[in-house]
A and B are shown apart, each in its own frame.
Chain A
Amino acid sequence: MENILLGGGGGISSGISTVSREKNNMDMLSEESSSYPDESELELGLGLSLGGGAKSMSKPPLPAVAAGGPWGQYARILTAKDFHSVVSTKESSSSSSSSSSVTKANNNPFCGVKRTAEPSSPPGRSGSSQVVGWPPIRTYRIQSLVNHAKSPMTEEITSAVDKCKSKNTIVDKTNIGSNLNRNVAKEKGLLKKTSLFVKVNMDGIPIGRKVDLNAHRCYKTLSQTLDDMFKLSAAVGAKRSNAEEQVVMIRPSGLLKVSSEFVLTYEDKEGDWMLVGDVPWEMFLSSVKRLRIMRTAEANGLAPRSNERNQTQSMAPI
């Protein structure tokens, strides 16, 4: 449950889409690399998309997440436990340790200037929003977004959410963001009960993984999660292998991009192997049985994807 709550990553820029962003990660990593222990704990089946480059500058024990194959040797996927120490709570808003205020301004590695005002973490899209009224969106609109988040599975839950949002919610002097967050988190917590773990195998790697498809709501986050999972394997594989072994280069946008070495495919209910990304997400969820990260060469027989979708998900050209 906690995992989902923090899935937004506290302002971590998942979906790194430009070369420049990748470069930044590289810079950050090289700067900070000395302070992190070389742990390579794996979390199987986590299904969390945390993107790359997330780090906290004031908490040394927190390791970095590898941003990409060639330049990351750190491969620990951050879990909710790590965030507890970083995300500030409401009670601590009056206290401000001098350096942690920097980082509390989110797990965003880009924030460099100390804020003298409230040190609460403005996480933007994090599930644990601590900043009242940011981003500046009308309550009315926030409520309609929350309503959109409802799925057919959770009718009972959402009516409970509605009851929480009584007509006097606007009177509420507390952070409406966090109120809604808690309610939505409850929704999602219950959603998580119905998880959809499917096997993921990657060509060339003997051991498969599993990923919870219900932890995602779109292809992008799934793709990044798989990137993270398999960069690790690729990196590990590359380390262990001899020079002849092909170094796997998966770009962060990764698996759905045409020009990469691999493509992401899935086996559907009818037993056919299809390219991931063609159909709407919900339709995909209802027909997928398992995933396979296939070498592009082998994938030639599969149905061609539409250009639009390809471009929508492709990142900036290299």
Chain B
Amino acid sequence: MLNYFPEEVLEHVFDFLTSHRDRNAVSLVCKSWYAVERFSREKVFIGNCYTISPERLIARFPRVRSLTLKGKPHFADFNLVPHDWGGYVQPWIESMAKAGVNLEELRLKRMLVSDESLDLLANFFPNFKSLVLVSCDGFSTDGLAAIASNCRFLRELDLQENEIEDRRGQWLSCFPDSCTSLVSLNFACLKGEVNLLSLERLVARCRNLRSLRVNHAVPLDALQRILAQAPQLVDLGIGSFVHDPDSEIYNKIETGMQKCTSITSLSGFLDVTARCLPAVYTICRHLTSLNLSYAPGIYSDELVKLICHCNKLERLLVLDTIGDKGLGVVASTCKELQELRVFPSDLYGVGNAAVTEEGLVAISAGCRKLNSILYFCEQMTNAALIMVAKNCPNFIRFRLATFNPTAPDAVTMQPLDEGFGAIVKSCKGLKRLSVSGLLTDQVFLYMGRYAKQLEMLSIAFAGDSDKGMLYVLNGCKKLKKLEIRDSPFGNAALLADMGKYETMRSLWMSSCEVTLGACKTLAQKMPRLNVEVINESDQMEASVDDKHKVEKMYLYRTLVGPRKDAPDFVWTL
């Protein structure tokens, strides 16, 4: 019956499907649906850029307009992956340019981007509108200048936590006077100076600007002038917020802020005088998102005074200077809170444990809508985790990192198995989990038994034997990404269910007990997996014995075989 629907109708129906998963599912129904779907697909998400080649992407989805690519494995964030491991965007841009793809949006994460790539992007895609780069590197402000100069309809330039070389050019001044289309501009991660006048003019002529995040080089007085031009802003990232609170400029900022009634998201404060913070109190009432995790030197008291005004907050990122007490205030003020991230403030100094399990428990008791947490703390207890699990059964993401990766329960000295067990048991929708602390195989037993929706799991310094890893591989049916470091899992666990890895996106294992021989076996038996071994030591050829333990292994499913751009120290087996 469905075959009688003309294609246009099917296409129209598929238009309503926004999620990638739904569209993927639909394309598996039958050949005609597959055909309709592929011609109508505009947004493609590729979680691992080596799963597929650009050519095959374009062949299947010729009308693609928006592409999201992720490159390096997640542990690259923590310096576990060599810089030039891979993840180059260049081949993708080249192929799309050659094929005449009408690319409008490109979103990259952990990829290597060169100025040349940006130049290509800027010159070969006339309708290019949106560039979002997260944790990328390899490019400079020259590449940004190319984008600014040539993308006539640019709406979004969003640079998040990238390593960008500053060439002291005037990239911001490269936006032509005719550019009035910007909706979102985020250059907070840039290290160098920007032309303030150009910035002010740009803001003034882009009447649709909704999101602006500036870097530390934009001082308070410039900010005041910018806000005067853009009271319609919804998302503001402040650069430098340093001034004498008794000054005229400060008063102007305060009144300026009062006019910005649309701001619901606030971040930045890359440089801040805490005594200036009261200027933002007026916008606090409307805030749903607040990120102070890059704001140095704001004491707990001042943080608390600010947060007291934020009762609509749904998302909060702070440093652990907030303290358990401050978290208590968050718990009683921010009843709508859904996501909380508490980062360490002091890694190297004579610091102190500012947050403990008490803060976490307080939050869980007060913020019942909490569904996502990232918490760095000095210590944790099973009792606390059990309480948290009871208070907040809605966790989708739960990530805990104790400063000592094998810290036991601070009170009982027991492993934290029971605590995390409670979390996975109670939070039936848990999709992402990172564990830390002293953990035995038992916690993995719980995961295998209860974490049925789990998609991503990060393990470090945990477990006693292969059984641990096996519990997870066998029980977590929806597992997509598994990353393990410094844990005693070996060949038996790796090879027990090789087919499992084709149902997953990737597996990372470093400093475990897996040998080269086992990796070779796996690679041989599973041709649709790329099994890569990263060997950084100098004595390469010499003692490459199959019994040798592998320092770093990364395997992922792929449709296109071993990649051709692997550097010398990466062996695809």
Q: Which residues of A contact B (CB under 8 A)?
A: 4, 7-8, 11, 13-15, 17-18, 20-21, 24, 48-49, 105-106, 108, 110-113, 115-118, 122-125, 127, 129, 131-142, 144-149, 167-168, 170-173, 175-177, 180-181, 184-185, 188, 215-218, 220-221, 280, 306, 308-309, 311-312, 316
Contacts and interface: CB of A to CB of B under 8 A. Distances in A.
Given A110-B407, A115-B461, A141 B343 contact: yes
A170 B79 contact: yes
A292 to B, nearest CB: 23
Contacts, number: 195
A145 B352 contact: no
Contacts of A218: 352
Interface string B460-472: 1100000000000
B415 interface: yes
Contacts of A8: 348-351
Main secondary structure of the interface of B (DSSP, over half): loop
B275 to A, nearest CB: 9
A171 B85 CA distance: 10
B421 interface: no
B350 A170 contact: no
A138 B161 contact: yes
Interface residues of B, number: 71
Nearest to B216: A147
B165 A135 contact: no
Contacts of B438: 111-113
16 contacts: A11-B404, A15-B352, A17-B324, A24-B413, A115-B406, A125-B344, A125-B403, A127-B348, A132-B79, A136-B434, A136-B458, A138-B161, A139-B163, A140-B163, A146-B348, A217-B346
B79 A309 contact: no
Contacts of A49: 350
B300 interface: yes
A177 B79 CA distance: 9
Contact of A312 (B163, B325, B411, B512): B325
Given A133-B78, A308-B304, A108 B343 contact: no
B165 A167 contact: yes
B137 A170 contact: yes
B325 A108 contact: no
Given A110-B410, A148-B297, A139 B401 contact: no
A139 to B, nearest CB: 6
Nearest to A140: B161
A110 B413 contact: yes
A182 B299 CA distance: 27
Given A8-B351, A115-B461, A148-B296, A311 B189 contact: no
A125 B79 contact: no
Closest 9 interchain pairs by CB?
A124-B403, A133-B78, A171-B83, A148-B296, A7-B350, A15-B352, A140-B161, A117-B486, A20-B411
B135 A132 contact: no
B80 interface: yes
A15 B353 contact: yes
B142 to A, nearest CB: 13
A142 B347 contact: yes
